[in-house]
Structure 1
Amino acid sequence: MTLKALLWDVDGTLAETEDHGHRVAFNLAFKEAGLRWRWDSELYGDLLKVTGGKERLLAWLERVDPAAAAAPDAAARMTRLHERKTAIYVDLLTRRAVGFRPGVARLLDDAQAAGLRQAIATTTTPANVTQLIDVTLGGRGHRLFEIVGAGDAVPKKKPAPDIYRWVLERMRLAPHECLAIEDSRMGVEAAVAAGVPVLLVRSRYTGTATIPGTVGDLPSLEGVRLQQLRDWHAKAVQGSAAAA
């Protein structure tokens, strides 16, 4: 089966935005709101087990102040806090030089030149995706990605397969016609549950534990060529067909 599309995760996959981007923005939002919360790198890595910024804030509130988390307005309060965090993050991206991880830009360009379709499947807020694309690719970025599946486009975030199914439906593609590129266990599990072959590219917070179900497990995309992605995809599809 021919590879027709690449489906990209964003944070940690396209760019290392978690530790020096999102985490910093959360802490600045906490300080601005008068909250005595501070997420260091180790704690933030643990909190990334909860996908989605609003969901992460609610999980944190439940951990540090169960009574406040049980209040009727808890979700609304965390939503407002997350909105402010998003604004701070977008501003950080504007003021700081943020680049793609090694190998990403070349693969994006090579895939486009080869006629492969490309899309984004992420849990992050649409504004975050838009700003990252703008600062890294400029105006051509929005022509590069046919579909951007982000934020609350679906009710359940990764590791649920919903965002992949949402993207596939809009691209009118079957799962086996695509290759997902992810950096986290939850992202891999989402792709696998959707039936999409997935390549793991480890990032700052991936850790070293084995993550099953991938077509490959890499420290980065540096030096990786498009033909290698095609080969991994073909091997995965053939393996699935043989197991059926």
Structure 2
Amino acid sequence: MTLKSVIFDVDGTLADTEKEGHLWAFNRAFQLWNLPFRWGVPLYRELLNISGGKERLAYYLAQHPEYHPLSNDEIREIYRLKTNLFMERVRAGVVALRPGVRSLIGQCYQEGIPVGIATTTNYDNVETLLLRHFGVQWKHMFPVVVAGDEVPIKKPDPAVYVRCLEQLGVSASEAIAVEDSAVGLKAATGARISTIVTMNTWTYHHTFLGALAILTSLGTTQTPAYGTGPDGWGRYRVTVDQLRAWLV
């Protein structure tokens, strides 16, 4: 099968957005709103099983009736503030791309393979991140971006991937997805896309049943990834040629 597109998740896959990005921004927003709680790393790792920032906060409050309830409008306002704080962190260069991401995307661009984005985060977050790391040409490198606010149901539902495939004009068998979590893997494979998982500190404990490969990252020449793929257990640096070989 011919490789015609690579589709990336964003948070935790394209970039290390969570600890110094989203988690920091959530806690700063809580502080500015004078809310009586903060989220630590162990708790946030659990909350990441809930897709979407507004949904995550609503879920947390539902589990903690001891706190004063917030209306949907208040949750939206807190999330809007959190988004602005997150984008400030991205513009300041705090949020880094994950190893191997820039290289693989650059190869795709050079070889005319469109890269899509399928994410539960909002479009403004994606635009800010891609502009910071890829410059004004990012829209040429990522011709299709489907964000979480563009589909009725977020991951693990496959809707965001189905729409991304439609806009790219490719079939599921002609694409490979890159994800970092069990939730994302379920969404991508639900759309029948072969999926590479690049796990991280937030998702290493997940079960990745059905993944094409399970790696520590995409790997670089200096720092290869470790994990298992169609070629078995070993060290990897994921390239376009390797993706083509895997998509059979």
Structure 2 length as normaliser, TM-score? 0.89
Q: Does structure 1 retain, via aligned residues, the 8 Å contact 2:120–2:148? A: yes
Q: Return the letter of the residue paired with 1:221.
A: L
Q: Return the letter of the residue paired with 1:157.
A: K
Shift of 1:134: 1.1
State yes or no: 1:218 paired with 2:232: no
Question: Which one of 160, 165, 173 corresponds to residue 162 of structure 2?
Answer: 165
Q: Return the letter of the residue paired with 1:8.
A: F
Say what the alpha-carbon RMSD is for the aligned residues.
Answer: 1.4
Q: Return the letter of the residue paired with 2:59.
A: A
**CA deviation map 1:192-219 (0-9, x unaligned):** 1111111111112112343111111110
More helix by share: 1
User: Which position in structure 1 is the counterpart of 2:97?
Assistant: 100
**CA deviation map 1:195-244 (0-9, x unaligned):** 1111111112112343111111110111222111112222xxxxxxxxxx
State the alpha-carbon separation in 2 of the partners of residues 96 and 208 from structure 1.
28
Q: Return the letter of the residue paired with 2:51.
A: T
User: Which position in structure 2 is the counterpart of 1:43?
Assistant: 43
State the alpha-carbon separation in 2 of the partners of residues 34 and 209 from structure 1.
34
Q: After the TM superposition, which residues 25-40 of structure 1 pair with which residues of structure 2 at under 5 Å, given as runs?
A: 25-40=25-40
Question: Which one of 85, 88, 94 corresponds to residue 88 of structure 1?
Answer: 85
| SS of residue matched to 2:120 | coil
Question: Which one of 112, 121, 132 corresponds to residue 109 of structure 2?
Answer: 112
CA 1:193–1:208: 2 relative to 1, 3 Å: same
Q: Does structure 2 retain, via aligned residues, the 8 Å contact 1:54–1:78? A: yes
State yes or no: 1:232 paired with 2:220: no
| SS of residue matched to 1:110 | helix
Q: Does structure 1 retain, via aligned residues, the 8 Å contact 2:182–2:206? A: no
- More displaced 10-residue stretch of structure 1: 204-213 or 179-188: 204-213
Query: Aligned pairs, how many?
Result: 231
User: Which position in structure 2 is the counterpart of 1:64?
Assistant: 64
Shift of 1:141: 1.3
Q: After the TM superposition, which residues 112-191 of structure 1 pair with which residues of structure 2 at under 5 Å, given as runs?
A: 112-191=109-188
Shift of 1:58: 0.5
Runs of 4+ in 1 over 6 A off after TM superposition: none
| SS of residue matched to 1:109 | helix
Shift of 1:21: 0.5
Could you tell me the percent identity over the aligned residues?
A: 37
State yes or no: 1:52 paired with 2:49: no
User: Which position in structure 2 is the counterpart of 1:19?
Assistant: 19
Q: Return the letter of the residue paired with 2:117.
A: I
CA 1:37–1:139: 2 relative to 1, 3 Å: same
Q: Return the letter of the residue paired with 1:13.
A: T
State the alpha-carbon separation in 2 of the partners of residues 92 and 126 from structure 1.
16
User: Which position in structure 2 is the counterpart of 1:6?
Assistant: 6
**CA deviation map 1:116-161 (0-9, x unaligned):** 1111000011111111111111112121001111121001000000
Question: Which one of 190, 194, 204 corresponds to residue 193 of structure 1?
Answer: 190
Shift of 1:67: 8.3
**CA deviation map 1:154-203 (0-9, x unaligned):** 01000000100111111222111110000000000001111111111111
Q: Return the letter of the residue paired with 1:116.
A: I
Structure 1 alignment gaps of length 5 or more: 235-244
Shift of 1:64: 1.3
**CA deviation map 1:40-71 (0-9, x unaligned):** 111100000100001001101101127855xx
Q: Return the letter of the residue paired with 1:24.
A: W
